[in-house]
Amino acid sequence: MAEEFKIFIVEDDVWYGEVIEYHLSLNPDVLVKKFTNGKDFLKALDEQPSLVTLDYSLPDITGEEVLKRVKEFNPEIPVVIISGQEDIGTAIKLLKEGAYDYIVKDDDTKDRIWNTIKNIREKTELKEEISQLKKQIVQKYDFSKSIIGNSPPMKRIFSLIQKTIGSNITVSITGETGTGKEVVAKAIHYNSQRKKKPFVAVNITAIPSELIESELFGHEKGAFTGAIARRIGKFEEATGGTIFLDEIGEMDINMQSKLLRVLQERELTRVGGSGIIKLNCRVLVATHKDLAEEVRKGNFREDLYYRLLGLPIGLPALRERGKDILLLAKHFIDEYCKENDIGKLSLSTSAQNKMLKYPWPGNIRELKAVVELACVMTDSNVIDNEHITFNSSGSIDTLLQTEMPLREYTHRIVKFYLDKYNHDVVTVAKKLSIGKSTIYRMLQEENAALRVTPTTQDY
């Protein structure tokens, strides 16, 4: 271990204490300190021992009282009770009061103490490792580092995230698919007071509607066919931490009413159970849909909508973030090079211009895929225009490179948005600020043109 492991021996039998001290000191990275009474030991507690072996029968103060004082000072210090007699009742009582182990003095005591110390050290190292991992996660999700961007829209997002950190207010995150909603949710959690507790993410679309209640709230054994054991739900898993409900707009209307009750009452009951479980987690939700519009359509409960609204954070589409596109591209390039142990790669000016003109319908997720492919395609240390490949239709730069009548440009733009929004005419009309009749007329003209039988003059 990096730090010396300090063992305090509290033993009034001088000879026996020296035997234990000698045996434990054989390990070079262990520091052993011996005390013959409880009062001297308690005065030295500020030295923060890694482990205490405590004789139960001390001349000045009972072992039980010493144990109590140690646990009041620092409950994380393991205390191993050493006793001259085997008293099961006393052992059970001390273990309940916080003793790590109870060992009876005999010929095997030294070996038993050492085995116990070995177990404690392994657990201590594991705790330190977990603590370091948690620190790394917190650093990773420092939103000023994990969320890359310097554009005015992103500066507003940083300001909103900052406001969420000091409270437990529900946060509703909206934005197109691929804009980084879960990254924002993690940044909120890992910068909040709940950061040492679980972050539980649930994608509503990934769970069959008939299983979602059990998944969120848990179930008791025998609650339904296949429920062979009790299962803890996601809300319980998130106790003390944060639950993130992604794609909340896809939740079935019947399940919405059950979720509303849980959020209002701050308690839940497992499926097939009757016990009340108090809710203790922060709720973050995300959706790519316009929930207000879903309420108007009758697809989402209005009362649940207002319950979840909390502090709304609307993430901008990548095409609205200007040169953030290049910042993100550089980040993904550097990340790819590091993961694949290759030299530095850079973007040529023409490649940068090509990326800035593209509308990025898949947002950051698409950008990452395009950049990684470009890293593979280049044969030098420069990613050029030819290495940037877009798979989605309707790229702006390609569109403008072909000269055509304004009417044809309009048709192609409308078609692009229809493909993007699954031919939802109402949404497209709203996005483009045009009438629905204009779109329907365009579709009719396109269909009529397709029905014309070509002649040899058409070829």
For the stretch 311-333, pLDDT in tens is 999 999 999 999 999 999 999 99
What does the pLDDT read at residue 458? 33
Q: Report, as an integer, the average pLDDT of 46-56.
A: 88
What does the pLDDT read at residue 433? 85
Residues 66, 68, 73, 76: is their CA dihedral positive or negative?
A: positive
Q: Name the pLDDT band for 22 (thresholds 50, 70, 90).
A: confident
Mean pLDDT of the chain: 85
Residue % of the chain over a pLDDT of 70: 89
In our burial notation (b when 16+ CB lie closer than 10 A, e otherwise), range 382-403 reads ebbeebbebeeebbeeebeeee
Out of 94-98, 363-367, 381-385, 453-457, least confident range? 453-457
What does the pLDDT read at residue 395? 47
What does the pLDDT read at residue 159? 92
What does the pLDDT read at residue 459? 32
Domain 5-135 has CATH 3.30.390.10: no
Out of 83-87, 106-110, 129-133, 255-259, least confident range? 129-133
Q: Report, as an integer, the average pLDDT of 365-386.
A: 93
What does the pLDDT read at residue 447? 65
What does the pLDDT read at residue 313? 97
Pick the more confident residue, 139 or 360. 360
**For residue 457, pLDDT beyond 50:** no
Q: Any residues with CB less than 8 A from the CB of 212 and at least 6 apart, and which?
A: 204, 251, 252, 255
**For residue 85, pLDDT beyond 80:** no
| Number of residues in the chain | 459
Q: Name the pLDDT band for 305 (thresholds 50, 70, 90).
A: very high
- The pLDDT tens digits for 88-102 are 887 888 888 888 888
Pick the more confident residue, 83 or 176. 176
What does the pLDDT read at residue 402? 54
Q: Report, as an integer, the average pLDDT of 140-145.
A: 60
Q: Name the pLDDT band for 117 (thresholds 50, 70, 90).
A: confident
> In sequence order, what are the beta bridge partners of 101?
80
Helices vs strands, H then E, count in the chain: 20, 14
pTM for this predicted structure:
0.60
Q: Which of 24-28, 220-224, 320-324, 420-424 shows the highest mean pLDDT?
A: 320-324
What does the pLDDT read at residue 366? 93
What does the pLDDT read at residue 160? 94
- Residue 104 per-residue DSSP state: E
Structure tokens at 264: 């209002």
What does the pLDDT read at residue 397? 46
Q: Name the pLDDT band for 2 (thresholds 50, 70, 90).
A: very low
Q: Report, as an integer, the average pLDDT of 53-78.
A: 87
Rounded to an integer, what distance in angstroms lies between the CA atom of residue 313 and that of residue 172?
A: 6
Rounded to an integer, what distance in angstroms lies between the CA atom of residue 450 and that of residue 458?
A: 13
What does the pLDDT read at residue 257? 95
**For residue 442, pLDDT beyond 50:** yes
Residue % of the chain over a pLDDT of 90: 46
Q: Where are the beta strands (DSSP E) in 375-428?
A: 382-383
**For residue 364, pLDDT beyond 60:** yes
**For residue 252, pLDDT beyond 50:** yes
What does the pLDDT read at residue 156? 94
What does the pLDDT read at residue 448? 63
Q: Give 254-308 as a 3 state SS string.
A: HHHHHHHHHHHHCEECCECCCCCEECCCEEEEEECCCHHHHHHHCCCCHHHHHHH
Pairing of strands 267-268, 277-278: antiparallel
Rounded to an integer, what distance in angstroms lies between the CA atom of residue 178 and that of residue 362?
A: 6
230 in helix, strand or coil? coil
Q: Report, as an integer, the average pLDDT of 246-260.
A: 95
Instruction: Return the H-helix or E-strand segment holding 143.
Output: helix 143-146
Q: Any residues with CB less than 8 A from the CB of 444 and at least 6 apart, and which?
A: none
Neighbouring CB atoms inside 10 A of 274's CB total 7
**For residue 104, pLDDT beyond 90:** no
**For residue 423, pLDDT beyond 90:** no
CATH architecture of 318-394: Orthogonal Bundle (1.10)
**For residue 286, pLDDT beyond 80:** yes
Residues 317, 322, 325, 327: is their CA dihedral positive or negative?
A: negative
Pick the more confident residue, 172 or 131. 172
Nearest to 202 by CA among 248, 258, 269, 253: 248
Instruction: Return the H-helix or E-strand segment holding 103.
Output: strand 101-104
Q: Report, as an integer, the average pLDDT of 5-26.
A: 86
Domain 144-314 has CATH 1.10.3720.10: no
Neighbouring CB atoms inside 10 A of 212's CB total 20
- The pLDDT tens digits for 331-345 are 999 999 999 999 999
